[in-house]
């Protein structure tokens, strides 16, 4: 008698120990980055009522999900046999669960609320390179809080900084990947001033989204059939109004570049300022991670502002996200500004492995055994200053300082070794100037009262407070012992001073 053999369902994975360690490496990367950026982890059910997914994505999504039912309820079973869909679906994505959870407790949650999540998702589609039917997914979302254009731009930049930092930690840099960014409001404004009619805008955005799939001929034909002018279609085909690297230079000369001229709503200017204060603008195109690219619109109808994708040559997008200010209301919550991104493990694994950036053997085991990011904030940065000029300089320093502390400083020994790998133990070695990445936060409160800001730091269980006195100096306070330094620390010495107190080195 032949022995039975059993296969895993197609598009799913059996992870033997060596595979599992690689998966854990990616999860650790995601979790550590999220924590250092001040996100808190949540989780929800693996399956939900199927209509939850239709609320966000329309009924069409229900043909893409695995259907689930208990088989215990006769009425339910007979409905399914009669042709109805099953009552539950395996989650194809986490955002509807997040929206449901946020809406249920919106009144009692922090403003903003920063949540991350990482588990598996499921899509009932054919397996292809970079696409499986069960896959790991990482989401970071920032919900609620101030809703003025400047605050929104800062929160957008915070999200992009988190995704960039994860890639940087994994050893990917601006030569390997880029973040392509667009703003739907800006695109819409530009389309209207370029001759599009209001009612054509959704069709045009949808066409632009499909351009790379359908090709230029179908793009022109479909556009013409919707009555869009040939002139506008030609400009769109050439990826106008602009595809521009976001560099320090663009910030200085914003009004003179095509992007600045197309920014009829003013949101992109705020966004570029926020990207700069997050340390995300390179000096020139060759060192810039990010570019503005109006061909990025992302198909999902629910995005309302900034949209972005992380791209690597020859692969599907590694990550994608954007602003979705209407979603929480759709799930029964209050009007809530929101922005987030998602990243899957399948494409990221391919990109890391292709570039020799996935450790093996004892290097992998050692990397996994390193301490995780601190769940308590290592550092809480507070603006102070005794004169109005110092106060202004201190306030302007908060975001750049938080960004620097989250990234850390690579040691000279690491940089000088041309064969270095991101998991090398000496990457942040203090002996040659390294500073390990820290969990850094600042207050979302507008208050300038240092006592209140220190209370906020303590409430968030921060270990150290960094009180910024001016553009060059800070005072360190240890919140665990409630002792404040009698002398100030100069900024270039800050990282190592903090690391020593946290015993990270």
| Region 449-478 residues binding a second copy, contact defined as CB under 8 A | 461
Nearer to a second copy, 40 or 472 (CB): 40
Site for a second copy in 368-407 (CB under 8 A): 368-376
Q: Using CB under 8 A, which of 23, 240, 248, 421 touches a second copy? A: 23
Site for a second copy in 89-108 (CB under 8 A): 90, 97, 100-101, 103-105
Closest approach of a second copy to the CB of residue 411, in Å: 19
Nearer to a second copy, 132 or 343 (CB): 132
Q: Using CB under 8 A, which of 12, 251, 432, 475 touches a second copy? A: 12
How many CA atoms does the CB half-sphere of 151 hold within 13 Å? 14
Nearest Cα neighbor of 232 from 183, 190, 261 is: 190
Closest approach of a second copy to the CB of residue 405, in Å: 17
Distance, in Å, from the CA atom of 489 to the CA atom of 295, rounded to the nearest integer, reads 46
Distance, in Å, from the CA atom of 62 to the CA atom of 89, rounded to the nearest integer, reads 8
Q: Using CB under 8 A, which of 1, 9, 388, 486 touches a second copy? A: 9
Q: Give every CB contact of residue 428 below 8 A, 6+ residues apart in sequence.
A: 408, 409, 410, 411, 414, 434, 435, 436, 437, 505
Nearer to a second copy, 227 or 334 (CB): 334
Distance, in Å, from the CA atom of 295 to the CA atom of 237, rounded to the nearest integer, reads 9
Nearer to a second copy, 129 or 461 (CB): 461
Nearer to a second copy, 90 or 280 (CB): 90
Distance, in Å, from the CA atom of 473 to the CA atom of 482, rounded to the nearest integer, reads 20
Q: Using CB under 8 A, which of 17, 107, 314, 356 touches a second copy? A: 17
Burial class (CB in 10 A: 0-12, 13-18, 19+), 467: buried
Closest approach of a second copy to the CB of residue 43, in Å: 4
Structure tokens at 260: 């600045």
Distance, in Å, from the CA atom of 169 to the CA atom of 340, rounded to the nearest integer, reads 20
Site for a second copy in 117-176 (CB under 8 A): 120, 122, 124-125, 134
Nearer to a second copy, 127 or 253 (CB): 127
Q: Is residue 25 involved in binding a second copy (CB under 8 A)?
A: no
Nearer to a second copy, 199 or 362 (CB): 362
Nearer to a second copy, 188 or 441 (CB): 441
Give, in order, the Cα–Cα distances in Å from 218 to each of 203, 288, 298: 14, 33, 19
Closest approach of a second copy to the CB of residue 386, in Å: 32
Angle at 324 between CA 125 and CA 382, to 5 degrees: 125
> Cis omega (within 30 of 0) on the bond before 112?
yes
Closest approach of a second copy to the CB of residue 376, in Å: 5
Beta strands per DSSP E along 162-289: 177-183, 243-245
Site for a second copy in 324-363 (CB under 8 A): 329-333, 361-362
Site for a second copy in 41-70 (CB under 8 A): 41-49, 52, 55, 62-63, 65-70
- DSSP for residue 115: E
Q: Using CB under 8 A, which of 3, 175, 388, 482 touches a second copy? A: 3
Q: Using CB under 8 A, which of 60, 74, 83, 212 touches a second copy? A: 83
Q: Using CB under 8 A, which of 59, 173, 366, 472 touches a second copy? A: 366
Strands 379-383 vs 440-442: parallel, antiparallel or unpaired: parallel
Structure tokens at 134: 């069960």
Closest approach of a second copy to the CB of residue 289, in Å: 29
Structure tokens at 267: 């949101």
Distance, in Å, from the CA atom of 161 to the CA atom of 407, rounded to the nearest integer, reads 10
Q: Give every CB contact of residue 4 below 8 A, 6+ residues apart in sequence.
A: none
Distance, in Å, from the CA atom of 144 to the CA atom of 388, rounded to the nearest integer, reads 30
Q: What b-and-e string marks burial along 258-296, b requiring 16 or more CB atoms within 10 Å of the CB?
A: ebbebbebebbbbbbbbbbbbbbbbeeeeebbbbbbbbb
Q: Using CB under 8 A, which of 1, 16, 482, 492 touches a second copy? A: 16
Q: Give every CB contact of residue 248 below 8 A, 6+ residues apart in sequence.
A: 276, 281, 282, 283, 284
Closest approach of a second copy to the CB of residue 96, in Å: 8
- DSSP for residue 31: H
Stretches 82-90, 213-221, 235-243, 259-267: which one binds a second copy (CB under 8 A)? 82-90
Nearer to a second copy, 71 or 492 (CB): 71
Nearer to a second copy, 276 or 424 (CB): 424
Q: Is residue 74 involved in binding a second copy (CB under 8 A)?
A: no
Nearer to a second copy, 56 or 188 (CB): 56
Nearer to a second copy, 25 or 190 (CB): 25
Q: Is residue 40 involved in binding a second copy (CB under 8 A)?
A: yes
């Amino acid at each position: 008698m032949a022995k039975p053999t059993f296969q895993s369902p197609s598009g799913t994975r059996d992870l033997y120990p060596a595979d599992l360690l690689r998966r854990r490496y990616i999860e650790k990367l995601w979790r550590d980055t999220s924590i250092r950026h001040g996100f808190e982890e949540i989780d929800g059910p693996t399956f939900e009522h199927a209509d939850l997914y239709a609320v966000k994505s329309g009924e069409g999504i229900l043909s893409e999900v695995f259907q689930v039912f208990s088989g215990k309820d006769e009425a339910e079973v007979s409905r399914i046999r009669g042709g109805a869909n099953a009552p539950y679906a395996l989650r194809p994505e986490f955002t509807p669960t997040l929206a449901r959870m946020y809406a249920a407790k919106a009144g009692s949650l922090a403003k903003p609320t920063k949540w991350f999540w990482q588990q598996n998702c499921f899509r009932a589609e054919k397996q292809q390179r970079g696409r499986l039917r069960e896959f790991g997914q990482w989401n970071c979302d920032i919900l609620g809080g101030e809703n003025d254009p400047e605050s929104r731009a800062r929160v957008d930049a915070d999200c992009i900084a988190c995704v960039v930092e994860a890639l940087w930690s994994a050893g990917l840099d601006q030569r390997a990947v880029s973040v392509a960014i667009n703003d739907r409001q800006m695109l819409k404004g530009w389309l209207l001033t370029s001759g599009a009619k209001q009612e054509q805008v959704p069709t045009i955005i949808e066409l632009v989204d499909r351009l790379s799939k359908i090709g230029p001929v179908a793009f022109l034909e479909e556009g013409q059939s919707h009555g869009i002018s040939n002139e506008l279609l030609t400009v769109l085909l050439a990826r106008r109004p602009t595809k521009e690297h976001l560099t320090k230079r663009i910030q200085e000369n914003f009004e003179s570049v095509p992007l600045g001229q197309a920014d009829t709503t003013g949101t992109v200017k705020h966004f570029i300022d926020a990207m700069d204060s997050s340390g995300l603008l390179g000096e020139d195109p060759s060192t810039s991670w990010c570019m503005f690219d109006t061909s990025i619109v992302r198909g999902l109808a629910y995005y309302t502002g900034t949209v972005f994708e992380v791209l690597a040559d020859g692969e599907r997008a590694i990550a994608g996200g954007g602003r979705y200010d209407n979603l929480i209301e759709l799930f029964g919550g209050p009007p809530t500004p929101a922005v987030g991104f998602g990243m899957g493990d399948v494409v990221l694994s391919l990109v890391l492995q292709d570039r020799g950036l996935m450790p093996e053997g004892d290097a992998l085991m050692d990397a996994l055994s390193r301490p995780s990011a601190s769940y308590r904030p290592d550092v809480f940065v507070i603006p102070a200053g005794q004169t109005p000029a110092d106060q202004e300089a201190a306030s302007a320093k908060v975001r750049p300082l938080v960004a620097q502390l989250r990234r850390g400083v690579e040691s000279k020994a690491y940089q000088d070794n041309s064969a270095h790998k991101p998991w090398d133990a000496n990457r942040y070695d203090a002996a040659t100037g390294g500073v390990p990445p820290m969990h850094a936060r600042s207050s979302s409160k507008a208050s300038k009262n240092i006592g209140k800001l220190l209370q906020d730091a303590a409430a968030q269980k921060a270990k150290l407070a960094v009180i910024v006195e001016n553009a060059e100096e800070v005072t360190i306070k240890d919140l665990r012992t409630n002792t404040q330094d009698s002398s100030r620390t100069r900024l270039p010495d800050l990282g190592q001073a903090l690391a020593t107190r946290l015993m990270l080195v």
